[in-house]
Amino acid sequence: LPLAVLLKDTKLMDVKLGQLGSWLAMRDFTPGGIMGAVRRGYDRYYNKYINVKKGGLGGISMVLAGYIVLSYVWSYSHV
């Protein structure tokens, strides 16, 4: 049981390949859980790249690059 508690709190980057199945089984895939994960990711991105004292173009350029890649993927079948 202590291993399960520790595995649930482990970040994805720290999970071993053999533990990936059990780690995924412990995730919350309900709509509320997914929305919570998206919200935490957005907050983390915002606080790291946008809400800083001395900002640069890093955060905005990543959003722009992501939009360009996504637009290309969406229109790839038309090319």
Residue 76's pLDDT band (boundaries 50, 70, 90)?
A: confident
Q: What is the pTM of this model?
A: 0.55
SS (H, E, C) the chain: CHHHHHHHCCCHHHCCHHHHHHHHHCCCCCHHHHHHHHHHHHHHHHHHHHCCCCCCCHHHHHHHHHHHHHHHHHHHHHC
The chain-wide mean pLDDT, for the chain, equals 83
Could you tell me the residue range of the domain that residue 16 belongs to?
Answer: 2-75
28-66 tens-digit pLDDT = 899 999 999 999 999 998 888 878 777 678 778 888 999
- For residues 1-26, average pLDDT: 78
How many domains are there within the chain? 1
CA dist 47 and 45 (Å) reads 6
